[in-house]
Amino acid sequence: MARRGMAGRLGEVVVALALACATGPAARAQPSDVISHPGSSPAQASNAAGRCGVCHPRERVLFEKSRHAQEDIHCVSCHGGDDRTLDQGVAHGSGFRGRPARSAIPALCASCHASEERMRAYNLPVDQFALYQTSGHGRRLASGDTRVAVCSDCHGAHDILPPSDPASYVFALNVPKTCGRCHGDSTLMRPRGRRDAYREYQASVHAHELFDKGNPRAPTCVSCHGVHGAAPPQVGDVDKVCGQCHTAERRYFVAGPHREGLTRAGQPECASCHGDHAIQAARPERLSTLCSQCHGEPSQQARLGRRLWTEYRAAAQEVDKAAAILERAEAVPLQTADYRARLEEARTYLRESLPAAHGMNEETVSGFTLRARWVSAEIEHEIYGKLGNLRTRKFVLILFWFYVLLTILVLRRFRGRATRVE
Amino acid sequence: MSSPRGNPPPAAGGSRAGDADSADRPPPPVPASGHPAGRTGWVEWLEQRLNLTEIFSFLTHFGLVYAPIDRSRPVREVVRELATQPVPSYARGPRVLGLLAAILFGLEALTGVLLAYYYRPTPEAAFESTRTIVRDLPAGWFIHEMHAWGAYLLVAVVVLRLLRLFWDGLYRAPREVLWWSAVILAWLVLQLDFTGRLLTWDARSYWSTVRGMEVVWALPVVGPVLAFLLGGRVVNEDVLIRFYVLHLLVLPAFYLTFVYLTFSTLRRVGLSPPADSGPEGTVTFRHHLYSMLILSVLLFGVLVTLATLLPFGFAGPADPYSTPLGVRPPWYMLAPYALFQRLPLPAWVTGLLLLGAAVAVLLLPLWIRERGVLEPRRLRTAGVAALAVWAALSVVGMLIDRR
């Protein structure tokens, strides 16, 4: 701040005048009242580029949109040199860093972002650099491979925006594309023994949720791999990663036999059945076919899978039947609000039976499916009872017709008497 | 009470001369033909067809006209005389459809008042309140279904009555007023049905009203005026409240007026004889009354059975932003709807044709008098042909939006 005193402000005026002259008469024809209202307009942010922008207009445009430009960070903060002069010799003089080497970038960013004093005012974490050093990217960089992601590859160099900004490279919906710039590039990934995870992810149910439904809470790359400490989860950790969201599934999975067996066999836990990047929506009918893929066809496990699927299907059919009869009752119409709530209860049990199937314990699963069936059957029974009132109506109708015929007979008698009197 | 009418059997016999079966005979002198009335003035012309004196004395009951009070006849004597009054015995079966209409109207009024106690005529509350009536109130469903089925039967009865009057040629002098009031009553019943079906504000009724309003709107000159009175082209809360007021207040009032006019005409010109007339006996009015009571009880039984076994039910609440599939206007509007949709003519030409047809039906008596010589048999054939065309058009209209 001390550097930018009276002289700096004077310099700005000079730059402004110089720009006005350089852009010609068209610019001069504009009204000059922009100068009379300083402070409120984003034009003030343009000061952040100092005089560097005169020779580096492209970088200046990018930088002026960035978060840094709003927070008194200037070109010289990263690049060194002097932004108060137009003399290239002086500007690129003492302490000038130029374009930082890729290997130096994380440390350069960390010179501010690892400082608790500097970051406190923004309530930003300061552990990114430490995390980065533990990540796959950081470890490769330390081993001398400079063609790995550094801070600027994900966040941008000049145009850094906060992750909450939809234009940011690290906004939730942009994260897969940002990672995919490298991880979707097979020339970069194949020598390092990595697959094209970006394309696989795009086919997944997670990507469908993120892109097609626009749900910003859907998992992106960083949800499973970590942000600055990005690394593939190891065998033994996969269920913990998935379990961050799929809590019920993990609870049953950990209690079941698969976790230990898969870990011992060196197979990734959840990914062994569901896949890793191209995860598809879980379809309950796969219970009947998937087990035999590892356990073989005439096995106890394959039979268990088929039994679980049968139980689930029976319960689902019962719930559907209850829903259908509820629709019928609604159309009569009968009062159905209570039954709607109980149908939701049955649906909840049915839904819970799917996570429970991860425990491979038939009793737990049938506990839920039986409860779903029981509640559904109860709804059906009671609504049938109420619809039975309609049958009562029909019975009453028969009685009513007896009464009508009786009345008509009496009236006919009266009529006959009326005729006789005449 | 019976003194101004004179003795009915001769009156009925007298009017028979101008009727369907005897058109080839020369027109009788008075009072069937309207020619002398043309010279003596319209009051006399009307007096031969309506109980003008009684209508006038009816006004005195309200004190609107100051008139002497008749103290000479005690009520017991009046009732006894009434009970022994002779009525032609052919007044039964299809010849008392008007009475059935009156009974049904009374039933509609009764159930309608009960429904109105709980109904709220706003788009937000209409469906909810109707559902509350049907679902939660004791016997609410019964009242609602009776009202709906009653309306259905009322429309059928009124239309059948119109057909019967046409078939028996009861639009000829001196029954022009009977015909006019029958046509207007039929039109009023259709209007009551049209305004009433919107009130439940469920998806089916809403969209069928939207289609119906399109037909109304397409009529030239009359259409916009009518649509304006009904609340505009877009079916919204304005339309709902107007339909409500029309359904509860305006149309029933007109209906009652024309019912009174009908009975007044009947009393003046006598009951019509059957087409294949022969000398038939008479019964007492008491006997006739019992017959009508039996008929009413039977009608009530049929109505209760229909309401119980074939309830109309509802679709979901109306959503102006989503049209369900296969919406059609009410059945009696299907024929004009088909014409508007399928006839390769500008809408105003079609509308003009329809209006012309309606006016032709209404003015049938005058039209017949102008032509004079048109044979009743040929007229009947023409009527049947028109009815067949109407039915065919209705079928076309039914098939238009089917998926």
- Tens of pLDDT, residues B297-334: 999 999 999 998 888 777 778 888 887 777 778 888 88
Closest chain A residue to the Cα of B309, Cα to Cα:
A394
What pLDDT, on the 0 to 100 scale, is given for residue A40? 39
Q: Is the ipTM of this complex over 0.90?
A: no
Give the up-direction half-sphere exposure of residue A276: CA atoms within 13 A in the CB hemisphere: 16
- Asked whether the beta carbons of B333 and B398 are under 8 A apart, the reply is no
Residue in A331, A408, A418 nearest the CB of B297: A408
Q: Do B313 and A332 touch (CB under 8 A)?
A: yes
Measure Cα distances from B108 to A174, A389, B127, B230, B261 in Å: 66, 26, 20, 22, 20
A322 backbone dihedrals φ, ψ, rounded to 5°:
-60, -40
Q: Do A400 and B301 touch (CB under 8 A)?
A: yes
Helix then strand then coil, in percent of chain B rounded to 5, is: 70, 0, 30
Exposure string over B292-305, b if 16+ CB within 10 A, otherwise e: bbbbbbebbbebbb
Residue bearing tokens 């400079």 = A146
Measure Cα distances from B313 to A75, A304, B138, B205 in Å: 75, 47, 16, 11
Query: Could you read off the pLDDT tens digit of each residue along chain A, which spans 422 residues?
Result: 344 444 445 445 444 444 444 444 443 344 443 343 434 344 444 566 678 888 898 988 899 889 898 888 888 888 988 888 888 888 888 788 888 889 999 999 999 999 999 999 999 999 999 999 999 999 999 998 888 999 999 999 898 999 999 999 999 999 999 999 999 888 888 888 888 888 889 999 999 999 999 888 899 999 999 899 888 888 888 888 999 999 999 999 998 888 888 888 888 888 888 888 888 888 888 888 888 888 888 888 899 999 999 999 999 999 999 999 998 888 777 778 889 999 999 999 999 999 999 988 889 999 999 999 999 999 998 888 887 777 788 888 999 999 999 999 999 998 888 766 54
Judging contacts by C-beta atoms under 8 Å, the chain B residues touching residue A391 are none
Residues of B with a Cβ under 8 Å from any A Cβ are 83-84, 131, 134-136, 283-284, 286-287, 290-291, 293-294, 297-298, 300-301, 304-305, 308-309, 311, 313-314
Among residues of chain B, what percentage have pLDDT more than 70?
Answer: 84
pTM for this model (two decimals): 0.61
Measure Cα distances from B46 to A397, B52, B101, B176, B363 in Å: 49, 8, 25, 10, 16
Residue bearing tokens 């207007």 = B184
Q: Do A411 and B298 touch (CB under 8 A)?
A: no
- Asked whether the beta carbons of A284 and A354 are under 8 A apart, the reply is yes
Query: Could you read off the pLDDT tens digit of each residue along chain B, which spans 403 residues?
Result: 333 333 333 333 333 333 333 333 344 444 444 444 445 688 888 888 888 887 887 777 776 667 677 777 788 888 888 888 888 777 777 778 888 999 999 999 999 999 999 999 998 899 989 988 988 888 888 999 999 999 999 999 999 998 888 888 888 777 888 889 999 999 999 999 999 989 999 888 888 888 888 888 888 888 888 878 888 778 888 889 999 999 999 999 999 999 988 888 888 887 766 555 555 677 888 888 898 999 999 999 999 999 988 887 777 788 888 877 777 788 888 888 888 888 888 888 888 888 888 888 888 777 776 555 556 677 888 888 989 999 999 998 888 866 5
A421/B268 Cα distance (integer angstroms): 28
Interface with chain B: mutation pick from A408, A410, A413, A417, highest number of B CBs within 10 Å? A408
Judging contacts by C-beta atoms under 8 Å, the chain A residues touching residue B309 are 394, 397
Three-point CA angle A112, A118, A120, nearest 5°: 130
Interface with chain B: mutation pick from A411, A414, A417, highest number of B CBs within 10 Å? A411
User: What is the length of chain B?
Assistant: 403
- Nearest Cα to A235, choosing from A200, A201, A206, A272? A272
Interface with chain A: mutation pick from B141, B142, B290, B308, highest number of A CBs within 10 Å? B290
- The secondary structure of residue B303, as a DSSP letter, is H
Rama region for A279: left / alpha / beta (φ>0; ψ in -120 to 50; rest): beta
Three-point CA angle B34, B37, B40, nearest 5°: 170
What pLDDT, on the 0 to 100 scale, is given for residue A82? 85
Beta strands in B108-178 (DSSP E): none
Residue in A333, A335, A401 nearest the CB of B301: A401
